[in-house]
Structure 1
Amino acid sequence: MKLNPSIKYHSIIGISLGAWSFLFSILTRPFEHGEMDFSRWMEVSVGFSLIAFLSYVIVSWFQKIVFQKLTKWSILFEIGVYLFFYTIYTLATYYYYRSPIITGFYDFQEFFTKIILNIVVIFTPLIVIARYYTLKLIPKEVEEITIKGENKLDILKIKKDELICISNSQNYVEIFFLENDVLRTKLIRSSLKKIQHEFDFLIQVHRSHLINPSHFKSWKDSTTILLTQVELPVSKNYKNRLLAL
């Protein structure tokens, strides 16, 4: 299971929870029990909304610490986040509710069953959807590769997705890659076999050519393929694997 540990995104979720809590309170007055005037009811609404925001931010910091320490996330950790949030929120709101500011009269059991359980039903779908959406905002890791030749100066460090293909050129290999969307080439003293052994994601399409399959565009004809800004021949021995892409 994945987690986006970004405090920024989870703070936005916290703000959304607070706003949704206040809006719901205005529309339905779930905390009104017959003796609260409008002023007191607004204090409850604002206070509970602020507590929702702060509780979720606290949980966000906690989950980030756990994630950084363990470098993994699981369904048990995810459930723990919800339990931790609702525990903090319940205790904080109950203390606020019974404080001299509000002077609420529900005992804890009544408060939990008549108020907190309703809030759990309201908040949980919003939290689930929002946390799922943050996963799509996780920045993709840029994978870099380093191609080395026999000479010390024979080295090329590029992003994996920038590599288009590698072709044999006598005692050298010619590397075709993109640099700011411009096609570049570099000769390195090495062999195609050695390159293929080091970078197993490359596919051989000809005895003299390896390609990065992510740059395959289309077939020009039965013996030629089009890559990003490059055209290469395909031999019969390697055609079937390419057709499987």
Structure 2
Amino acid sequence: MNKKYPFDPSIKHHFIIAFGLAIWIFVFLYFTEPFDVSVFNRTEKLIYLPLYGVLGAFCYLLFLPIQHFLFKKNNENWFIKTEILFLFIFISIGIVSTRLFYLYVIVPGEPNPHDLSFHLKTIILPVLSTILPIIIFGRFAFGKYKNKQTEALKIEIKGEGNYEGLRLFLNDIICIQSSDNYIEVFYVSGNELKKHLIRNKLSVIADEFPQLLRTHRSYVINPFHFLQWKTANSKLFVILFHHIEVPVSRTYQNDVKTVLNSTTE
């Protein structure tokens, strides 16, 4: 349940799913004619059936603010349990909305409307059983596509030989410190500071990723995370995100000041 699930937060793509849902509901009802739909004449079908489609799209879009809240609350992660929660809420809203639409739009004032049990078995559940796979597939497909695009934007800090590398966004890197024949990568994951040791040379990383700024023979930093300067005992330091202090040697001072001052203008 806590396993990550492919998810695309794009509002545009969810509107596409909602639009496709509206079209599918209309087509399904028009051509299959479940109980009650078959009694509509042609004009009534063209009036009421598109409204059923709009109702389905509305039920889907109604969840989007909650979806956005859950996505942000989980540090922009989406899990199987949250996807199941979405489906449960959608089904619940769909059943209530369809029932009210039937009572107050399709048969307003009728003395003997179908009871809820019969309405569920003959129309609501059959329709839900056909549209849920469409929703699940659409959301999953957009999520997988988003994940592929996201992975394509990541960089890979490789290790020598069979040592494991690290794949992450450039702006997730705070700094990299040299440690003998290893480098220690300081990076953020969500709001947490993490470290990863890789067997490689800092000079190789500095050459491979010119976006990172050399401040010292043992450090490169990501200018994106620069917060402020610090001077102590006539030595210059930069303060980075998570209050990481990195020394700036005289060799690199001019270049570092030029780059960092330009990023704060």
SS at match of 2:145: coil
Structure number with higher relative contact order (C-alpha < 8 Å, ≥ 6 residues apart): 2
* 1:189 shift after superposition: 4.6
* 1:100 shift after superposition: 4.5
Contact 2:21–2:57 at 8 Å: present in 1 too?
Answer: yes
Cross-structure match for 2:63: 59
Q: 1:187/1:40 Cα in 2 relative to 1: closer, same or farther (>3 Å)?
A: closer
Cross-structure match for 1:143: 170
Percent identity between matched residues is 22
Q: Confirm whether residue 117 of structure 1 aligns to residue 118 of structure 2.
A: no
Out of 75, 78, 97, the residue aligned to residue 102 of structure 2 is 97
Question: Pairwise mapping of residues 70-109 of structure 1 onto structure 2 (< 5 A)?
Answer: 70-71=74-75, 72-103=77-108, 105-109=113-117
Aligned equivalents of 2:174, 2:37: Cα separation in 1: 68
Q: 1:53/1:111 Cα in 2 relative to 1: closer, same or farther (>3 Å)?
A: same
Out of 134, 142, 146, the residue aligned to residue 134 of structure 1 is 142
SS at match of 1:137: helix
SS at match of 1:176: helix
Cross-structure match for 2:41: 37
* 1:45 shift after superposition: 0.7
Q: 1:51/1:188 Cα in 2 relative to 1: closer, same or farther (>3 Å)?
A: same
One-letter code aligned to 1:9? H
SS at match of 2:208: strand
Aligned equivalents of 1:131, 1:178: Cα separation in 2: 35
Aligned equivalents of 2:212, 2:135: Cα separation in 1: 49
* Alignment RMSD (CA, Å): 3.3
Contact 2:37–2:45 at 8 Å: present in 1 too?
Answer: no
Question: Pairwise mapping of residues 233-244 of structure 1 onto structure 2 (< 5 A)?
Answer: none
Q: 1:187/1:93 Cα in 2 relative to 1: closer, same or farther (>3 Å)?
A: closer
* 1:132 shift after superposition: 0.8
Cross-structure match for 1:28: 32
Aligned equivalents of 2:123, 2:97: Cα separation in 1: 13
- Residue deviations 1:135-157 (CA, integer Å, cap 9, x gap): 123352632346679xxxxxxxx
* 1:76 shift after superposition: 2.4
Q: 1:166/1:186 Cα in 2 relative to 1: closer, same or farther (>3 Å)?
A: farther
* 1:32 shift after superposition: 3.7
In structure 1, the gaps of 5 or more residues are 150-164, 196-245
Number of residue pairs matched?
A: 171
One-letter code aligned to 1:135? G
Q: Confirm whether residue 10 of structure 1 aligns to residue 17 of structure 2.
A: no
Contact 2:30–2:45 at 8 Å: present in 1 too?
Answer: no
Q: 1:6/1:26 Cα in 2 relative to 1: closer, same or farther (>3 Å)?
A: same
Cross-structure match for 1:177: 208
Aligned equivalents of 1:116, 1:58: Cα separation in 2: 18
- TM-score, normalised relative to structure 2: 0.54
* 1:44 shift after superposition: 2.5
SS at match of 2:95: helix
In structure 2, the gaps of 5 or more residues are 154-168, 178-199, 221-265
Larger Rg over CA atoms = 1
* 1:61 shift after superposition: 2.2
SS at match of 2:39: coil
* 1:77 shift after superposition: 1.9
